[in-house]
């Protein structure tokens, strides 16, 4: 019962917050991007950083990745693998106009959140199977990058200045990721100094797992109700 009292409010908050904080590029930002007809690196740099900082699904995955990493070199390794993955598919997805359903890609991103939280909970160990986390983080990085690509493709970017603007957006994503990750890692590091960390670490990952389930279900529902678009 105690677990339900903790998880149900989080599930409700995730469902209600998702439309409000959805990280698709919209409003004035979308209008600006669609109207840009030449190289304009600095606004795209800003948009990339903003997109990552407000990308709750990306941040949940990264929080799961660094949650039990205690050495800086391990943090750098896994974040580098993730960055390499999402930079690759972000650039290639837009340049080669890969046509994939944004709902399905975002559903897999939700599953990536579930995967990392489940691993942190020792789920794979109990099943007698432990996947290579390095490969998994790199592979999910590819999916996260494809998710970023679908957001840009929806804006029908102009070919003039595309490469400069796209690279600028990607650099902005990396900057936003560095800012967000620094905050997340700092908070987790401070929390580790408290005796509550050991008591609530598993509960926190259970909540991250629940959020991943909600995000995945929301995207699958969106795919179904949009007629498979």
Mean pLDDT over 158-167 rounds to 91
Q: Tens digit of pLDDT for each residue in 88-135?
A: 999 999 999 999 999 999 999 999 999 999 999 999 999 998 899 999
Q: What is the pLDDT of residue 2?
A: 42
Please give the share of the chain, as a percent, with pLDDT higher than 90: 72
Residue 50 has which token pair?
A: 């903003």
Full-model pTM = 0.87
Q: Is the pLDDT of residue 6 over 80?
A: no
First to last CA, the chain: 39
**Residue matched to tokens 């709750």:** 56
Contact 210, 11 (CB under 8 A): yes
Pairwise CA distance, residues 65 & 49, whole Å: 20
Q: Tens digit of pLDDT for each residue in 19-57?
A: 434 456 767 777 777 778 889 888 899 999 998 998 999
Neighbours of 78 (CB within 10 A): 20
Pairwise CA distance, residues 224 & 229, whole Å: 8
Q: Tens digit of pLDDT for each residue in 163-199?
A: 999 999 999 999 999 999 999 999 999 999 999 999 9
């Amino acid at each position: 019962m105690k677990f339900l009292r903790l998880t149900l409010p989080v599930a409700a908050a995730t469902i209600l917050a998702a439309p409000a904080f959805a990280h698709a590029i919209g409003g004035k930002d979308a209008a600006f991007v669609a109207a840009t007809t030449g190289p304009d690196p600095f606004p795209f740099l800003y948009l990339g950083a903003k997109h990552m900082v407000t990308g709750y699904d990306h941040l949940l995955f990264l929080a799961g990745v660094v949650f039990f990493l205690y050495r800086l070199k391990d943090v750098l390794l896994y974040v580098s693998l993730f960055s390499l993955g999402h930079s690759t598919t972000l650039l290639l997805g837009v340049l080669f106009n890969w046509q994939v359903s944004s709902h399905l890609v975002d559903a897999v991103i939700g599953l990536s959140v579930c995967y990392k939280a489940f691993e942190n909970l020792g789920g794979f160990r109990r099943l007698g199977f432990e996947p290579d986390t390095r490969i998994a983080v790199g592979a999910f990085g590819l999916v996260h990058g494809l998710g970023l690509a679908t957001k840009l493709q929806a804006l029908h970017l102009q070919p003039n200045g595309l490469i400069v603007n796209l690279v600028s957006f990607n650099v902005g994503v990396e900057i936003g990721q560095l800012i967000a990750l620094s905050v997340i890692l700092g908070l987790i590091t401070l929390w580790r100094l408290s005796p509550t960390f050991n008591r609530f670490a598993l509960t926190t990952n259970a909540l991250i797992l629940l959020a991943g389930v909600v995000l995945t279900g929301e995207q699958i529902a969106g795919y179904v109700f949009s007629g498979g678009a």
